[in-house]
Amino acid sequence: MKTLKNLLCCLATAALALPATAQHQGHQQQAQDTTHQMGHQIGMQHGDMQMPMSHAFSRNLPMNRNASGTGWLPDESPMYGNMYHRGDWMFMLHYNLFLRYNNQDVFEVGNRGDSQFDAPNWLMLMGQRFVGDRGLFRISGMISLDPLTVGGNGYPLLFQTGETFEGSPLIDRQHPHDLFSELSVGYTHMISEEADVFVYLGYPGEPALSNVAFMHRPSALNNPDSPLGHHWQDATHITFGVATLGVRYRNFKLEGSSFTGREPDEERYDFDKPRFDSRAVRLTFNPGPSWSLQASTAYVKSPEVAEPEEDVYRSTASVLYGKQLGGSNRFLTTTLNWGYNYVDAHHKEHSVLLESNLQHDRFAVYGRYEWLQKSAAELGFEEGVFGHDALFGIQALTVGANRQLAQLGTVNLHLGAQASVFRGSSELHPYYGELPVSAQVYLRVFPTIMVPRQ
Query: What are the angstrom distances between the C-alpha of 33 and each of 26, 92, 175, 193, 225?
Result: 10, 24, 42, 12, 37
Distance CA 29, CA 251 (A): 10
| Other C-beta atoms lying within 10 Å of the C-beta of residue 321 | 18
pLDDT for residue 4: 43
154: left (phi over 0), alpha (psi -120 to 50) or beta: left
Task: Compute the CA torsion angle 404, 408, 409, 411 (nearest 10 deg).
Answer: -60
pLDDT for residue 306: 84
Q: Per-residue pLDDT tens for 109-152?
A: 999 999 999 999 999 999 999 999 999 999 999 999 999 999 99
Query: Count of alpha carbons within 13 Å of 235, Cβ hemisphere only?
Result: 28
Say which amino acid occupies 175. Answer: H
Is residue 340 within 8 A of residue 320, CB to CB? The reply is no
pLDDT for residue 384: 86
Distance CA 126, CA 310 (A): 35
Residues contacting residue 115 through CB under 8 Å, at least 6 positions apart: 101, 102, 103, 104, 156
Distance CA 199, CA 205 (A): 12
Write the DSSP assignment of 378-415 as a string of letters. TTT--HHHH-TT-EEEEEEEEEEEEEEEEEETTEEEEE
Q: Per-residue pLDDT tens for 56-110?
A: 999 999 999 999 999 999 999 999 999 999 999 999 999 999 999 999 999 999 9
Query: Count of alpha carbons within 13 Å of 360, Cβ hemisphere only?
Result: 8
Whether omega for the bond prior to residue 287 falls within 30 degrees of 0, making it cis, is no
Is residue 104 within 8 A of residue 438, CB to CB? The reply is yes
pLDDT for residue 452: 54
Domains and CATH numbers, the chain: 63-450 (2.40.160.10)
The H or E element spanning position 129 is: strand 121-131
pTM, full prediction: 0.88
Residues contacting residue 153 through CB under 8 Å, at least 6 positions apart: 165, 166, 170, 173
Q: Which residues of the chain have pLDDT under 50?
A: 1-51, 453-454
Distance CA 146, CA 175 (A): 9
